[in-house]
């Protein structure tokens, strides 16, 4: 298990249990302790329709330049993943609905390869909750959960943090671009390969077992600053194994909806390994 894959496997266990399955430049310096967990998640949705009525056509903004000038950033991330889980073992089939609520406070230093992500993951309807502290220094990840602290020598975070997904997505042409109350809104359709590291990280599965469709990414820019990122997509996961009573197949079909608020840009912090 490495990096977010370790989180994904932990979350996957929680999902199985809940489903009842068988079987700017940087100028400021602060210290990040990772002791505070994020608050309650909220559901969001992205509107990808072409704007009408009072919405105005957006002027030109250099999004590549805005993104390229970001060396560090802090963010709050709220997400929901709703899944319909079908489990088949032999002649027995069970279905259940599971929701994953994710609340994160994160800090990423893209230049120095330092990151801290403090997460609370809740699985409904059983209300299983796990707090996860992930501190990344280069390619070494310190993962602190209720099971203790694990150290691994690689991480997928550098392929799945919010700005990385945004940076890869804006290489494509936007589906829509308009101005709303002085804020420029751009809507994109992210390629599946850009989103796979994020989805794999929370589900603990390989890309061969995971399909992503109907993805939409909405970016809001005000005063040449990215303030908000919304992401929605549909997903399907298929896994199988051999259990004590025969072959087990699990199919999960659902949606991901998330909102990221950028809270600071280019305020460098000191990231230290967690205390044991």
Q: What is the pLDDT of residue 206?
A: 61
Q: What is the pLDDT of residue 275?
A: 73
Alpha-carbon span 240 to 69, nearest angstrom: 45
Residue pair 258/78 in contact by the 8 Å Cβ criterion: yes
Alpha-carbon span 44 to 35, nearest angstrom: 27
Q: What is the pLDDT of residue 274?
A: 78
pLDDT, tens digit, for every residue of 48-107? 444 444 445 556 789 999 999 999 999 999 999 999 999 998 888 999 999 999 999 999
Alpha-carbon span 103 to 18, nearest angstrom: 19
Exposed / middle / buried, residue 39 (Cβ in 10 Å: 0-12, 13-18, 19+): exposed
Q: What is the pLDDT of residue 8?
A: 52
Could you tell me the residue ranges of all domains in the chain? 4-32+42-271
Q: Which residue reads 């996860």 in tokens?
A: 132
pTM, two decimal places: 0.79
The parts of the chain modelled with pLDDT lower than 70 are 1-59, 154, 206-208, 276
Q: What is the pLDDT of residue 11?
A: 53
CA 53 vs CA 119, 160, 254: distances in Å: 39, 36, 32
Architecture in CATH of 4-32+42-271: Clam (2.50)
- In this structure, what token pair is assigned to residue 123? 């699985």
């Amino acid at each position: 298990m490495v990096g977010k894959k370790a989180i994904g496997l932990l979350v996957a266990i929680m999902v199985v249990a809940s489903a009842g399955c068988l079987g700017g430049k940087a100028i400021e310096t602060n210290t990040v302790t990772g002791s505070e967990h994020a608050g309650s998640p909220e559901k969001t949705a992205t509107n990808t329709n072409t704007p009408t009525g009072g919405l105005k056509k957006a002027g030109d903004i250099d999004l590549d330049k805005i993104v390229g000038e970001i060396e560090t950033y802090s963010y709050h991330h709220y997400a929901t993943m709703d899944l319909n889980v079908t489990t088949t073992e032999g002649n027995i089939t069970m279905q259940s609905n599971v929701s994953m609520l994710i609340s994160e406070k994160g800090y990423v230093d893209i230049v120095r390869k330092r990151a801290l992500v403090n997460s609370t993951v809740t699985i409904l309807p059983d209300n299983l909750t796990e707090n996860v502290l992930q501190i990344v220094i280069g390619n070494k990840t310190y993962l602190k959960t209720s099971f203790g602290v694990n150290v691994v020598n690689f991480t997928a975070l550098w392929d799945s943090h919010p700005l990385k997904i945004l940076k890869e997505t804006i290489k494509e042409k936007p589906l829509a671009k308009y101005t709303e109350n002085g804020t420029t809104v751009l809507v994109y359709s992210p390629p599946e390969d850009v989103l796979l590291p994020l989805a794999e990280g929370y589900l603990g599965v390989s890309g061969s077992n995971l399909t992503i469709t109907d993805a939409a990414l909405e970016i809001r820019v005000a005063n040449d600053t990215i303030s908000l990122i919304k992401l929605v997509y549909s997903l399907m996961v298929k896994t199988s194994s051999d259990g004590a009573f025969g072959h087990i197949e699990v199919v999960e079909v659902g949606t991901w909806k998330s909102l990221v608020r950028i809270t600071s840009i280019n305020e460098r912090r000191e990231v230290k390994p967690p205390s044991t």
